[in-house]
Structure 1
Amino acid sequence: MNISKLNTRVSLPNMLLIAGNGRNVGKTTLACKIIAQLSKSVPVTGIKISAHFHPYSDAGLVAKNEHFVILKEQNISPKDSSMMLQAGASDVYFVMAQKEHFNKALNELLKLLPEQALVCESGGLHEWIDLGIFLFVNLKNKPVEKTHLLEYEPIIVENDGKNFNIDFEAFQFSNGRIQLLK
């Protein structure tokens, strides 16, 4: 599959995407809880995508050019991608890409992804992919600032600082598709 800058979208019904209403709203914690639940019964690949470049070493380097870097997480650390690995993901990819070159990074990432459950934390992937499930995390009683994300009809998950208003046992992976059984 190749994603161009045009209206091409890729169908990934095996992906659950998590975006949020800003920083520190619980996106990674939610991803880890879902990975922990799903990985009890199926292999799960975790993905963390950032439009910001962070310092990194070449350990785990999968692909790199002047516009993006893709790393396969290998270390136990407090990094978000490592937390996904610690939660039970069989593999975790960390992607850093400039927004205007995001499609190129995504094309490279798609070559690496298995046809198993995918749990991804990204604020921009919804623009390129038709997903199995799209979750939007917000702190309880906080107004939604990233209203443009609501156009994609995500399931809104509230975080009260301790708990999320969603049943983690309702997440299932079956017939190549992530599902939320209600």
Structure 2
Amino acid sequence: MESQLSTINQMFLIGSTGRNSGKTTLATALIEKFKKEFLIIALKITTIEHKDGKCPRGGDGCGVCTNIQDNFELIEEVSTSSNKDTSLLLKAGAEKVYWLKCLQSHLDEGMEYFMSVIPKNSLIICESNSLRNIIVPGSFVMIKNVGNNIAKKSASAVISKADFILENDFSNSIGDFVDKVVVDKENMNIKINSAM
């Protein structure tokens, strides 16, 4: 089955076992590390099971995801002045930042569209668990919040595919990890250097 998946070597995919685990902190640190060498596009993905369904985070939610009109919606972030994750990614130095809101059943369609609108030589930093079901990135790291042992369903489905599981204790584990990330400039392949 793995061989049937699309490969995106220039993507660093960040998943997490739960909310507030450090995905955006890791993404912004990677952007800051590589922004002078590469054109970086950041992507945050929110998958939705059904139109007008429940908030993926539980509860009533804010309504942003549940009002999706089509099978997917790609929104470009243009503000660096809010505390939204996408705004923080743009502020960190990404060339462009997108939020892909997508029905789970149309994630491949949404990704195909995203890949068609970005420059081919981009380094992609992406936050998503579900995306690992349909693509093979250059590297996939799963962040585990050491203070919370309950994993989201989307994380449990892909954690076995992680190239690295980062146990975030909110000291300097993310900073230490970022030092291990390298990019092969020749083929834009982003990897974790375990020898470091």
Q: What interval of TM-score do these two structures reach, taking the shorter chain for normalisation?
A: 0.7 to 0.9
User: Please, which of 45, 52, 58 is the counterpart of residue 49 of structure 1?
Assistant: 45
Unaligned runs of 5+ in 2: 49-54, 56-62
User: Does the aligned pair in 1 maintain the 2:133–2:158 contact within 8 Å?
Assistant: no
Does residue 85 (structure 1) correspond to residue 90 (structure 2)? The answer is yes
Contact 1:38 1:171 in 2 (8 A): no
* Partner Cα distance (2:192, 2:156) in 1: 23
Amino acid at match of 1:42: F
- Report the residue type matching 1:88 in the other structure: G
Superposition pairs of residues 45-124 of structure 1, within 5 angstroms: 45-52=41-48, 55=64, 66-76=70-80, 77-114=82-119, 115-124=121-130
Query: Equivalents in 1 of 2:173, 2:39: separation in Å?
Result: 23
Residue 69 of structure 1, CA deviation: 0.7
- Mapped contact 2:78–2:87 kept (Cα < 8 A): yes
Equivalent residue number for residue 51 of structure 2: none
Letter in 2 for 1:111: S
Under a length normalisation based on structure 2, what TM-score does the superposition of the two structures give?
A: 0.77
Number of residue pairs matched by the alignment: 169
Q: How does 1:1-182 map to 2 (within 5 A)?
A: 8-52=4-48, 55=64, 66-76=70-80, 77-114=82-119, 115-140=121-146, 142-143=148-149, 145=151, 146-164=155-173, 166-173=176-183, 174-175=185-186, 176-181=188-193, 182=196
Segments of structure 1 that go 5 or more residues without pairing to the other structure are 1-6, 57-63
Q: Kindly tell me: are residues 170 and 18 of structure 1, through their superposed partners in 2, closer, same or farther at Cα, counting changes over 3 Å? A: same
Q: Secondary structure at the match of 1:51?
A: strand
8 Å CA contact 2:26–2:178 kept in 1: the answer is no
- Contact 2:142–2:162, Cα closer than 8 Å, also in 1: no
Query: Which shows bigger deviation, 164-173 or 33-42?
Result: 164-173
Confirm or deny: 8 A CA contact 1:37 1:171 kept in the other structure: no
Q: Quick one: distance in 2 between partners of 1:104 and 1:156?
A: 28
C-alpha distance in 1, partners of 2:177/2:17? 20
Deviation of the 1:106 alpha carbon = 1.3
Q: CA RMSD in A?
A: 2.2
Report the Cα offset of residue 30 of structure 1: 1.0
